[in-house]
Structure 1
Amino acid sequence: MPMRTEPDNLPPISFMEGTVAFPNTSIRQTVKLTLGTKQFFRVRLSNAFGIDDLNIRQATVALSLNNVSGTVEADPKTMRDITFDNGLSETIIPGGAQAVSDPIDLGCAVPRNSIITISLYLEAGQDGQSGVTSHPGSRTTSFCCRGNHVADSNWVDLPAERVEHWYFISAIEVLAPREACVFAIIGDSITDGRCSTTNGNDRWPDRLFERFESNPATSNMSIVNQAAGGNRILADGLGPNVLSRLDRDILSLSGLRYVLIFEGVNDIGTAEANESSQATVVKRIIAGYRQIATRVHARGIPIFAATITPFGRRTEDSDLDAKLMGLSGYSDPIRDQTRRQLNDWIRSSGVFDAVVDFDEVLRDSDHAEMLKPQYDSGDRLHPNTEAFQALADAFPVDLFAKFQDR
């Protein structure tokens, strides 16, 4: 999902001139498709958080060499120019807008699980203070290089620098059969893949997608991960709040048929740990959930909800320097009570078409306020890759069949 780039997530200093990011710079990025196409696809680029125009002077696309994420090498046989507006190689995207490319044909089928290489050249760059659109938690290596090298398939010998962010990419849309559809996930850092493997594509939605492939009922379904670290339902943080981004990030998706929301922990954890503040959070999150469900249902789309997973510290943590050890600051009995209240409401309210009980999957059976030790990444809040697999394994993939005729 597109986000405003914070100062710490702007490109390396060698790709800044004053406040301008990416002057005379090529950016090479890789993304994974969860739905293939026999021929055509198109690329969406975003200037959602820019105030100034974003001028893309030239762009190319290709299959990644050897189908590897986070590489500078593209397959030269499939390298194609990305054009806009019926053949133009340059596009100027106004602030707050996006651009959709012309249909692209790589000369071959592009199956699901393909890694696509997108290269963008910015001649003038964009003012980093007025807003650069990116996704900082890509968990994927991208590369920056001075000069226009978007048509070069191999950057191995170029002085390219690594960054673990995506810039300006919003989506890839494929021409797919009518029965193909999208399952979109609204989430925070747990869904965005905090503590996953860089270039490993092992977030829990990635693992769930592997199950989709082996299930005939979901083999034509794409997963669109619209999560961001620190995201909240009620307030902006690292990215806009869910209520404000729902239309752009979810309801505007082509082929959307199902939605899951797995959010709320950051709303709880950033509110004061006292009864009054947490009581307000409970009321407002429930109201937010209702609004989200109403807006999704208005499109005739079912929405599922996942329960909020634990974030409590362990007894032995009291002897540790929490900041030095990187422990989450959310842990508090009052906050955990809020989490349990909200989970009870999610399970029993009937607002959602189905509930996926991730809390039950990850919580310690003896200490329900904590993650199971084997699923804890170490900060008591974020699950590890073993937990991601557990979430994917526990997801009821037969759920979708109940709503196919709606």
Structure 2
Amino acid sequence: MQRFTVVIASLSVAFGVPVTAMAKSCSPIWVPTWASSQMLPTGENVLPKGTLGGATLRQIVRTSSAGQRLRIRLSNVASSDPLRISGVTVAEAESPTSSAIKPQSLKPVLFDGRRDVIIPAGAEYLSDPVPLAPSALQSLTVSIHYAEEPSAPTSHPGSRATSYVLPGDHLADPAMPGAKTFAHWFSLASLEAETCAPAATVVALGDSITDGRGATTDGNDRWTDGLASRLQASPKLRHLAVLNQGIGGNRLLNDGLGPNALARLDRDVMAQPGVRYLIVLEGINDIGTLTREAPVSDAAHEQLVSRMIGAYRQIVLRARARGIKVIGATILPFVGNEYYHPDARNEADRQAVNRWIRQPGNFDGVVDFDRVIRDPARPDRMHAAYDSGDGLHPSPAGYRAMSDAISLELFK
């Protein structure tokens, strides 16, 4: 023991670190390493009745930060009935493109010491800690065995990741050959990693451009994925996790596909442990839907811009009150999109909103996605090199340009 103390003391002198600092153990905290916004699926996102009851659903997610242990948050927020789960397992995925797991990594997930759990209507439920140490940027599988068919399954429709479902209990199966597949997540709100302080969370609140429409299925090439990779490449910033809370079709002011941004701010942002930074990329669907069915008056255009700015102010005020730094992202150009068919008046609305976002003091920082993605020759349109093909959603190259445009100084 005396010799060990001498060695530690010698090292502390050599590296300028006090003995007490090196000997002190860390204070572990829980920070989400992955999350998705929860909602009631509609339309083509609804699974055929009977798909989940008695079946095993294996879902693949990608972590954004590392930890010593993890725990899982299951969600039943969209249902008015309890959700009955027979069992859950977690494992390292062989790859993000198949249902295969690394069998030696398979761990059961317990809830209050039990394998089964009943989640009350409208609630979420945290698991017990699982002795699996997630690495950063790692693909993990979460397999859920449903005791019965959910009456209204809570979902995140735009997963951009393949999920696998097979009748029966397949929680421990090395793979799931013959499983049906779809690109949605169900009942899975977040994975939290236990880590030593300091650790913090960056939340991206947005619509389909944050959710990743136009990204590669199973490719993990949304702009938030690129940001997570850049943070992990920086020794001073790899303590930051990145959560993608985008919903396709989401709006600032009105419900669309999922609740509006103000309505979901508390659950999707404020309730996430360790939130230090919030990036807001919302509004293009508000501008587009205003005139999609028919033209409106100049007064209606002016009111929309005013109300959008009011919503941004509300987000900033509420987040700042929690000590969160709020970063505004400018709205991307979308002239040429056939769904919204925007005209010069819609473009004027977008420019007015972007001017307010860029104005110093309105946000705590700005990411000018518009400047990066627009065509310099036609600034009301997306550059062809970054267009997924619809004039609205970026391609993987566009998402990479967006993530590269975010100054890491914002997080220092």
TM-score, L = length of structure 2 = 0.88
Asked if 1 retains the 8 angstrom alpha-carbon contact of 2:137 and 2:229, the reply is no
Indicate whether 1:64 and 2:93 are aligned.
yes
- Quote the residue 2:383 is aligned against: 372
Q: Which 10-residue stretch deviates more, 22-31 or 270-279?
A: 270-279
Matched, 1:286 2:313: no
CA distance in 2, matches of 1:376, 1:204: 14
Contact 2:39–2:154 (8 Å) recurs in 1: yes
Letter in 1 for 2:103: P
CA distance in structure 1 between the aligned counterparts of 2:107 and 2:200, rounded to whole angstroms: 26
Identity of aligned residues (%): 39
Q: Give 1:263's aligned residue.
A: 282
SS class of match (2:209): helix
Equivalent residue number for residue 316 of structure 1: none
Matched residue, 1:27: 57
Q: Secondary structure at the match of 1:287?
A: helix
Equivalent in the alignment of 2:135: 111
1:79 deviates by 1.0
Partner of 1:41: 70
Cα distance in 2, alignment partners of residues 110 and 364 from structure 1:
40
Equivalents in 2 of 1:302, 1:330: separation in Å? 35
Match runs of 1:1-400 below 5 Å: 1-11=37-47, 13=48, 16-17=49-50, 21-38=51-68, 40-65=69-94, 68-85=95-112, 87-106=113-132, 109-127=133-151, 131-156=152-177, 159-272=178-291, 273-274=295-296, 275-313=298-336, 327-348=338-359, 350-400=361-411
Runs of 5+ unmatched residues, structure 1: 314-325, 402-406
- Cα displacement (A) at 1:291: 0.5
The residue type equivalent to 1:63 in the other structure is E
| Letter of the structure 2 residue corresponding to residue 134 of structure 1 | S
2-structure distance, mates of 1:374, 1:252: 38
Question: For the residues of structure 2 that align with 1:362 and 1:7, how far apart are their CA atoms?
Answer: 31
Matching residue's letter, 2:271: S
How many residues end up aligned between the 2 structures? 372
Q: Which 4+ stretches in 1 moved above 6 angstroms? A: none
C-alpha distance in 1 between matches for 2:180 and 2:239: 37
Determine the C-alpha separation between the residues in 1 that align with 2:70 and 2:135. Answer: 11
For 1:301 and 1:331, how far apart are their aligned partners in 2? Answer: 34
Cα distance per residue 1:295-338 (max 9 Å; x no partner): 0000011101000010001xxxxxxxxxxxx8332421111100
CA distance in 2, matches of 1:348, 1:285: 15
CA offset digits 1:337-379 (Å, max 9, x no partner): 0000000011115221011111111111121111112111111
Distance in 2 between the 1:259 and 1:102 partners? 28
CA RMSD of aligned residues (A): 1.3
Structure 2: gaps spanning 5 or more residues = 1-36
Q: Please give the per-residue CA displacement for 1:72-94, whole angstroms capped at 9, x wherever unaligned.
A: 11111111111101x11111111
State how far apart, in whole Å, the 1-side matches of 2:224 and 2:357 are.
21
Distance 1:76 1:4 in 2: 33
CA separation in 2, counterparts of 1:98 and 1:105? 21
- CA distance 1:330–1:276, change in 2 (3 Å): farther
Query: Once structures 1 and 2 are overlaid, which stretch shifts more, 369-378 or 94-103?
Result: 369-378
Larger mean CA deviation between 366-375 and 268-277 belongs to 268-277
Task: Report the CA distance between 1:153 and its aligned residue.
Answer: 2.2
Task: Provide the rounded CA distance (Å) in 1 between the counterparts of 2:137 and 2:387.
Answer: 28
Distance in structure 1 (CA, Å) of the matches to 2:379 and 2:250: 24
Q: Which amino acid aligns with 1:141?
A: T
Matches of 1:78 and 1:386, distance apart in 2:
34
User: How far, CA to CA, are the matches of 1:110 and 1:23 in structure 2?
Assistant: 29
Distance 1:344 1:137 in 2: 30
Letter in 2 for 1:152: D
Return the alpha-carbon distance in structure 1 between the equivalents of residues 134 and 360 of structure 2: 42
CA distance in 1, matches of 2:121, 2:290: 32
Query: Which digits, 9 at most, give the CA deviation of each residue in 1:179-232, with x for residues without a partner?
Result: 121111001111111010000000111112221122233221111010010011
How far did residue 151 of structure 1 move?
Answer: 2.0
Kept in 2: contact 1:328–1:381 (CA 8 A): no
1:102-136 CA distance string (max 9 Å, x none): 00003xx3211121110101121112xxx321111
- What is the letter of the counterpart of residue 114 of structure 2? L
Structure 2 CA distance for aligned equivalents of residues 190 and 330 of structure 1: 18
